[in-house]
Amino acid sequence: MQKTIGLIGGMSWESSALYYKIINQEVKQKLGGVHSCKSLMYSVDFADIATLQHNGEWDKLSEIMINAARALESGGAEFIVLCTNTMHKLADDISGSVSIPMVHIADATGEAIKAENVKRVGLLGTKFTMEQDFLKQRLADRYAIETIIPSASDRDIVHDIIYQELVKGIITKRSQNAYLEIIDDLIALGAEAIVLGCTEIGLLISPDVTEHRLFDTTIIHAKKAVAFSLE
């Protein structure tokens, strides 16, 4: 019996669509036949979210996320999956507002990294994710994983490509090469693997374009959601 997944999406819809695809592929693989996931999605307008993020209006963002989680719970969702890394800054607010569980992206990722015996990772994501501690500290505290982030100028590059290109579905070789150079620098600094810590980065970087070990949080989180649904 599947539990109904409550997906908070739209941040961006590009990555939310990928979540939906991965989750359904995983359910089909595990259950066979024509099985698909039982899910609800509450999708926000990312233009509003991005503006509030860059204005530092996290209280307003918290209210939006809480309303989304409560709507999903009211609609019959049995647990919450927040389809974005950055908004996990508000994970405690969200999980504390509902009576159903929330599958945290850092826990899913931390478990996957620990299973590979990796102790130090390089992190790519929005500047919020790279510079603030809500993901890095959870990896450190719960999984003893050290996180290395790019230089300030490289963080600007990573962040700008996400918001100016990837969330719009724009994929360019130039941006891919820029990311690959930053990944090489993180490996040179001692990272054993790279965490793709923004749900859109997998649109640009995959094992097909780099020999370095990758942990794609979108794939890991989506598959963890299926595992939780089928428990």
Distance CA 176, CA 157 (A): 11
**210 annotated active-site:** no
Type of residue at 51: T
Q: Count CB neighbours of 75 within 10 A.
A: 12
**37 annotated active-site:** no
DSSP code, position 167: G
- Candidates 195, 211, 22, 213; CA nearest to 125 is 195
Distance CA 192, CA 86 (A): 23
Q: Which residues have C-beta within 8 Å of that of residue 40, sequence separation ≥ 6?
A: 4, 5, 6, 7, 72, 75, 76, 77
Q: Reduced to 3 states, what is the DSSP secondary structure of residue 192?
A: coil
Selecting among 198, 199, 217, 218, the annotated active-site residue is 198
Selecting among 37, 84, 126, 129, the annotated active-site residue is 84
Q: What angle do CA 13, 45, 93 make, to 5 degrees?
A: 95
Which residue numbers are catalytic? 84, 198
